[in-house]
A and B are shown apart, each in its own frame.
Chain A
Amino acid sequence: GDSVTQMEGPVTLSEEAFLTINCTYTATGYPSLFWYVQYPGEGLQLLLKATKADDKGSNKGFEATYRKETTSFHLEKGSVQVSDSAVYFCALYNAGNNRKLIWGLGTSLAVNP
Chain B
Amino acid sequence: EAGVAQSPRYKIIEKRQSVAFWCNPISGHATLYWYQQILGQGPKLLIQFQNNGVVDDSQLPKDRFSAERLKGVDSTLKIQPAKLEDSAVYLCASGETGQGYNEQFFGPGTRLTVL
Q: A residues near B, CB below 8 A? A: 4, 32, 41-46, 51, 89, 91, 93, 95, 100-101, 103-106
* A41 & B42 in contact (Cβ 8 Å cutoff): no
B contacts, CB < 8 Å to A: 3-4, 40-45, 56, 91, 93, 100-101, 103-104, 106-109
Q: Which one of B42, B103, B106, B108 contacts A103 once the chains associate, using CB atoms below 8 Å?
A: B42
* Minimum distance in angstroms from B42 CB to a CB of chain A: 3
B41 touches A101 (CB 8 A): no
* Contact A103/B91 with A42-B108, A43-B108, A93-B101 known, Cβ cut-off 8 Å: no
Contact (Cβ within 8 A) A43 B101: no
Contacts of A32 in B (CB 8 A): 100-101
**When A43-B91, A95-B100 are in contact, do A106 and B4 touch as well, CB less than 8 Å?**
no
